[in-house]
Amino acid sequence: MLITPCDKKTPHQLVPFIALTKPSEYESLFLDSTSRIFGCHFPIVCLPKSITEEEEDGSTNIKIVYLCRNIKDTFVSLFHFANNIGVRSSPISLEEAFHLFCKGTNVGGPIWDQILGYWKESLERPNKVLFMRYEDLKSEPHAQITRLARFLGRPFSPEEENSEMIDQITSLCSFGSMSKLQVNSTGHFSSKVSNSSFFRNGQVGEGNKCLTPEMAAKLDQITQEKFRGSGLKL
């Protein structure tokens, strides 16, 4: 089976942000599919009960996939993105952005609280919430894609696992492949945000390269304190 990339729509058109989508637009977004997939940056406590609640028998028609990233890499990515799209009239300095991030002044609230919320739900309701790490997707894409497919109720058949299908998916969905598509490198997501602004470099470990040793140590300290006793390590 040959898998071809979607070169007509951006990832954000295929998986639109629910906060930016009007209810009246839902049907038109998914005319060719029986499944609706939305993205968001909301903490789980802010999601409507229609999404988070399960049926009385414990089953669920709506599944949540949460993808997190190393805290230091998350901050550096957010810092560059905010300046790239011009959130402010003038660029924010690394020091000021770092101060606000440590205070929890962030889209979706303090990043540690958001991550912990989904982590705890994934432990309590593994059939409802799948917790994934960006670093795992980079280091073991085959295993993580298989895990995701199984969670969504669309597991690969033995024949598909033994074929090149998963390798093709990994290649086509890689940062290098996605960033080179014309649809992602040209045009605009909105009047102020270009499609290319979502593709900077996608590297793991950039936080340690871009932050001062003091900044890195502070984020490590906050992360350790916030996650203590949870069993979660990032």
- Per the document, the length of the chain is 234
pLDDT tens-digit map of 168-204: 999 988 888 888 889 888 888 877 788 888 888 889 9
Structural domain includes residue 108:
yes
99 in catalytic set: no
Q: What is the predicted pLDDT for the residue at 131?
A: 98
* Residue of 12, 41, 99, 188 marked active site: 41
Structural domain includes residue 28:
no
Tell me the pTM: 0.88
Structural domain includes residue 52:
no
Structural domain includes residue 116:
yes
Contact 38, 62 (CB under 8 A): no
Host domain of residue 136: 61-227
- Residue closest to 114 by CA, chosen among 47, 44, 49: 44
Q: What is the DSSP letter of 186?
A: S
Structural domain includes residue 53:
no
Structural domain includes residue 14:
no
The enclosing H or E element of 68 equals strand 64-68
pLDDT tens-digit map of 119-148: 999 999 999 999 999 999 999 999 999 999
Q: How many domains is the chain partitioned into structurally?
A: 1
Structural domain includes residue 30:
no
Structural domain includes residue 84:
yes
Cα–Cα distance between 206 and 169 in angstroms, integer?
25
Q: What is the predicted pLDDT for the residue at 57?
A: 63
Contact 152, 132 (CB under 8 A): no
Could you read off the pLDDT tens digit of each residue along the chain, which spans 234 residues?
Answer: 545 556 778 888 888 888 877 777 777 776 666 677 889 999 999 998 888 887 666 666 889 999 999 999 999 999 998 888 776 778 899 999 999 999 998 878 899 999 999 999 999 999 999 999 999 999 999 999 999 999 999 999 999 988 889 999 999 888 888 888 898 888 888 777 888 888 888 899 999 999 999 999 999 999 999 999 999 988
User: How would DSSP label each residue in 18-48?
Assistant: GGGS-GGGHHHHTTT-S----B----GGGS-
- Residue 133's SS3 state is strand
What's the CATH number where 184 sits? 3.40.50.300
